[in-house]
Amino acid sequence: MISILFIKEQADLLWHRLRARMMASPDLSASPDEEQPCLSQNPHRNRKYHAFLRQEKKTVKDLIRLGQRLMRRYGLHPHFFGNNRLPDTARFLAFYGLNGPHNATDSHDLTTCLSNEEVLQVLPLFERRIAERIPVEYLTQEAEYLGKTFYVNPHVLVPRSLMHTRFQEFLTHVTWQNKRVLDLCTGSGCIGISLALLNPEIQVDLADLSEEALKVAAVNIKKHALEGRVNCIQGDLFENIRERYDLIITNPPYVASAHYRCAPLEFKNEPRLALEAGADGLDLIKRILSEAKMHLNPTGKVIAEVGFPAAKRLKRKYPHLLLKWYTHRTPQGKTAFLAMDCIFECQAKDLPPREKSGIFTRWLRRLSAN
């Protein structure tokens, strides 16, 4: 009997000690997640966020690591942000939410301890990026292109044209007559505006079917103080173009319908009108090649980015068309060993004769823009 009482007393003592330790633990003393504010509709992420908030010490580096792990866990596409790596996304959103420099490299910045209030400025950005697959640029409403900042929203494609590393080369080899440039399918206007900033002597027209996209382009024209040299024109490709140009440059929709359907969700948050271009991805490119000659000066040229798959199909469709092809080049001026053609240039004199586009096709495209 004595031994049984002794064992019971020892068990009670052990239980009280264990209970006291549990109550003293910062991780276990908090109320259950379901009793706390919901930070995510996803139970797993909600638990992870609250567990992080309960940590006694948490640094910027810890917060970035949390975002990075969750983004990988839920299979996010980097969407070409930064160096096309999810750590770049997590790092940028963390510093953006904390109102700090997103390119901070000082170890002091990364080891800075954070309060819960500061962490709660960042977690909603992580959650929207993960749950809704919203590209970083739409969350911040700005995108960097050729070292300049542009305003963007979901009405325009996130600026990422591969041509920017060749802009200076393109401008140098234009035979200038009236010093006019047309940026066709302009979206945010980043291509045309970048050219205007590189060459202060040219006049640039930004053309797009989407009125909402041109509102964004107008903001960027004002942002870069180019109201006197850059203008917006609304219309279906060349519909409302009245001038002739030394250079027509374009990054038109060139994604085949089947590829668009299989694209990561990040791309589905961009305007479909700016990406999809029919069964072979060539719907707009064929029209541009057919109609561009009428809007070019005799020594003018058209330059277009069409991506790798569309480039292959374009070569097969126009085997005798004199197209000069370019591969993607890094900002450091390097070209990958196995880099594929993705940008073409065609002189006005070499462009094919105009083909009439069906009224029904034009009507469908207008409908898609509204």
pLDDT digits (tens, 9 = 90+) for 153-164: 999 999 999 899
Reported as a single tens digit per residue, the pLDDT across 244-273 is: 999 999 999 999 999 999 999 999 999 999
Q: Are 186 and 329 in contact (CB under 8 A)?
A: no
Q: What is the CA radius of gyration of the chain?
A: 27
Cα 7 from chain centre:
67
pLDDT grade for 362, boundaries at 50, 70 and 90: low
pTM of the model: 0.83
Give the span between the Cα atoms of 259 and 279, in whole angstroms. Answer: 9
Report whether pLDDT(363) > 50.
Answer: no
Rounded Cα distance between 188 and 79, Å, is 17
The pLDDT > 90 percentage for the chain reads: 77
Backbone angles phi, psi at 144, to 5 degrees: -95, 130
Q: Which two tokens stand for residue 210?
A: 């989407």
SS3 of residue 19 by DSSP: helix
Residue 342 has pLDDT above 80, yes or no: yes
The pLDDT of residue 18 is 46
CA dihedral 235, 278, 353, 355 (to 10 degrees): -80
End-to-end Cα, the chain, rounded Å: 87
Q: List pLDDT tens digits, range 128-174.
A: 999 999 999 999 999 999 999 999 999 999 999 989 999 999 999 99
pLDDT digits (tens, 9 = 90+) for 81-102: 988 999 999 999 999 999 987 6
Burial of 212 (0-12, 13-18, 19+ CB in 10 A): middle
User: Would you say 348 and 300 are in contact if contact means Cβ atoms under 8 Å apart?
Assistant: yes
Mean pLDDT is lowest, of 36-40, 304-308, 365-369, for 365-369
pLDDT digits (tens, 9 = 90+) for 14-64: 544 444 343 333 343 344 444 678 999 999 999 999 999 999 999 999 999
DSSP 155-194: TSPPS--GGGGGHHHHHHT---SS-EEEEES-TTSHHHHH
Q: Does 234 score more than 60 pLDDT? A: yes
Structure confidence by residue, pLDDT tens digits, 181-190: 999 999 999 9
Q: Which two tokens stand for residue 300?
A: 């003018």
Structure-token pair, residue 56: 């006694």
* Beta-bridge partner residues of 80: none
CA-CA distances (angstroms) from residue 179 to 42, 96, 188, 201, 220? 55, 40, 22, 7, 21
In the chain, the amino acid numbered 218 is A
Residue whose token pair is 């908030």: 53
